[in-house]
Amino acid sequence: SFDYYYESVAGAPGNGDVTYYTDVMETMIEDHLRDLFQLDSKVAITFDENYTLTAVEVDVVSTTSDSVANLRQEIAKEYKISEDRIKVFINGYQTK
């Protein structure tokens, strides 16, 4: 669904609706993580000028540290971003 959505709105941010595009992308990542890991999270993403995903911050309500490594790997794989560009927080505290 991510690829389908991405293809369908690839030109949309250029039309000035970057906030909407960002909100939808963040919600899609949150939904993906909920489906895969049964975790509630708040996601914040950063794009470059070409609307390529450059950074992701995930704030997880609560989980074990085992899930965090998997969470980071999954985001990196699914959204084609380096793991070192993904910050994960558990209950507001940043993980390593």
pLDDT of residue 96: 72
> Model-level pTM?
0.73
The confidence band for 14, taking pLDDT boundaries of 50, 70 and 90, is low
Report which residue type is found at 76.
A
Cβ contacts of 6 within 8 Å, gap of 6 or more: none
Residues 39, 53: Cα–Cα separation, whole Å:
22
| Chain segment 30-76, per-residue pLDDT in tens | 999 889 888 889 999 998 877 788 999 999 876 566 667 788 899 99
Cβ contacts of 3 within 8 Å, gap of 6 or more: none
